[in-house]
Structure 1
Amino acid sequence: MTQQPIAGFAPTPPAQRMENHGSNMLKVAMQSGHDLFARTGSMVAYEGFVQYEPNPPAVRQMASQWLTGEGAPLMRCHGDGLLYLADYGADVVVLNLAGDSLSVNGTNVLAFDAQLQWQVERVKGMAKFAGQGLFNVSISGTGWVALTSRGIPIVVDCGRGEDETYVDPDALVAWSTNLKVKGKRSFKASSIIGRGSGEAYQLGFSGQGFVVVQPSEDSADRLRARG
């Protein structure tokens, strides 16, 4: 059988720790001593010798906060080889942090280097707008992070002008933690045209940093996709 029809899909030699293989798959160059946290169940293939530790101690410490449904169970990966990760065909965004800090929606975390500092935390100022807190995963330090997006995301540079950037929380993937964040309440557009009623809320961002927004704001669909 000739391999010519599938040659374009063959893996390429890794150029860096994390990179995309297509838009919906993450390739990680695994090395001994450089462990990785990855979303449980996200492994689709690997080459070499890679082992997995589900629900490691560092994750169990966060379990009580993840019961809110805002977080994501993780597994610890270690070994040598190439590891391929994906999340139900979602787009994958790779970031290389250099002493930076991100706040990431727990459902959008795919993988990150184990040496990075991280914790689950409540987003301040949202309880009075949403009726409940919004929990995110804060990731900081120097290393690689991979996020998922339901569709091709847009990355908004909040430092380009003086105007604030407002985002629907259900479409929000991540943001630089040095940004100032505030909640804003407004009427839903659907109430104007008779298809619904009630109020909507957004998060406003200002300062130097960026916000990652996905083209999907239906959190129920996102949860069903993981079902």
Structure 2
Amino acid sequence: MTAAQWLPDPTRRHELRYWSGDAWTEHVADEGVQAVDPLPTHDDAAGLGEPAEPVDEHVPVARGGSGGITGDLVDGRYSESTATAPGPSLQNAKLLRVRVSEPFMARQGAMVAYQGAVNFAYQGGGAARFLKKALTGEGLSLMRVEGQGDVFLANEGYKVHILHLDNSGISINGANVLAFSASLEWNVERVRGGSIAAGGLFNTTLRGTGWVAITTDGDPVVLDAGEAPTFADSNALVAWSIDLQTSIRSTATAGALIGRGSGEAFQVAFGGRGFVIVQPSEGPTVPPHSHGG
């Protein structure tokens, strides 16, 4: 009988699938990123048969001894990714792994674990950024990470996405920034067409060449603003191409109909060629006012 281990996926939908020792499971892995993919309904786990393949050399292997402990947490399926390239990669959908080769910036408090000789230092935003944060509530509390090792970052269990900028720019809601290359220029800027009176319409901009990891509360949608006039709720908006033209629309009378918030609602309108990232969440629902005496 083949022992429990990671083996080439017999369904051919993924690189690897976990064999429990008795049957194939829903646990899969692609390029070191683990996920869950149920087996086809027309083929149950036993119907796929026992594997005859040798262990793949890229199968994730649990590090360290398990000390006689068994179970899914120590059998290898949740082991650290085997990716060896420097820079960011996904450990899983909600956890960023950065193999430190050059300094990068990360959200303060986002580190959940690290291995190696890694240093963390407070990164001030400068007087101009501090003033904007005080006036608008938008801004980033950052730490500079450098050294040699692996750093794991997460924020509130949100999903993590990695983008690579090539002499380009992106505007991101500060709450959705997890980490980015220290080589990128960053600032807190007012959304064009917005005002302080509109509230919360200041974003973090990143420009240059490097990587950025952002988080979303659920699976986002990426809209092509060049296809049609595009509008997004300011509370659900995550990021957009920095070259898009923006303006602010207020729907005071329809605020209770088209958004989750109570009272006045704001949408950001986009024009030009580029993308807009929106998450399926607008933050906590505002409870109705109590009228009790």
Query: Under a length normalisation based on structure 2, what TM-score does the superposition of the two structures give?
Result: 0.67
- 2:174 paired with 1:106: yes
Identify the structure with the greater strand proportion.
1
Measured after TM superposition, the shift of residue 189 of structure 1 is 5.6
Contact persistence 2:132–2:139 (CA under 8 A): yes
Q: Which of 114, 130, 151 matches 1:83?
A: 151
Aligned residues: CA RMSD: 2.3
Aligned to 1:224: none
CA contact (8 A) 1:191 1:198 kept: no
Match runs of 1:24-173 below 5 Å: 24-31=94-101, 34-54=102-122, 56-57=123-124, 59-61=125-127, 62-67=129-134, 68-127=136-195, 131-132=198-199, 134-159=201-226, 161=227, 163-173=228-238
Greater radius of gyration (CA): 2
Paired residues of 2:192 and 2:245 also in contact (CA < 8 A): no
The percentage of aligned residue pairs carrying the same residue is 41
> What is the letter of the counterpart of residue 212 of structure 2?
V
CA distance in structure 2 between the partners assigned to 1:155 and 1:9 by the alignment: 30
Partner of 2:266: 201
Question: RCO greater where, 1 or 2, for CA within 8 Å and sep 6 or more?
Answer: 1
Task: Tell which deviates more after alignment, 10-19 or 182-191.
Answer: 182-191
Q: CA deviation at 1:199?
A: 3.6
- Residues in 2 aligned to 1:175 and 1:66: alpha-carbon distance in whole angstroms: 20
Q: Give the deviation of 1:188 after TM superposition.
A: 2.7
What is the aligned counterpart of 2:254 among 188, 198, 210? 188
4+ residue runs of structure 1 moved beyond 4 angstroms? 195-198
Contact 2:255–2:263 under 8 Å retained in 1: no
How far has the Cα of 1:166 moved from its partner? Answer: 0.5
Distance in structure 1 (CA, Å) of the matches to 2:179 and 2:190: 20
Report whether the alignment pairs 1:21 with 2:91. yes
| 2:240 is the counterpart of 1:175 | yes
User: 1:190 corresponds to which letter in structure 2?
Assistant: A
Q: Which structure has greater helix proportion?
A: 1
The 8 Å contact of residues 235 and 283 in structure 2, kept in 1 or not, is answered as: yes
| C-alpha displacement of 1:219 | 5.9
Contact kept in structure 2, 1:188 and 1:197, CA below 8 Å:
no
TM-score (norm 1): 0.85
Unaligned 5+ segments in structure 1 are 222-227
Give the AA of the match of 1:53.
A
Aligned mates of 1:45, 1:134 — CA distance in 2: 33
Distance 2:278 2:156 in 1: 18
User: Which piece of structure 1 moves more, 85-94 or 4-13?
Assistant: 4-13
> Displacement, 1:126?
1.7
Stretches of structure 2 that go unaligned for 5 or more consecutive residues are 1-67, 287-293
Q: For 1:208 and 1:142, locate their aligned partners in 2 and report how far apart those are by CA, in whole Å.
A: 20
**For this pair of structures, how many residues does the alignment match?**
212
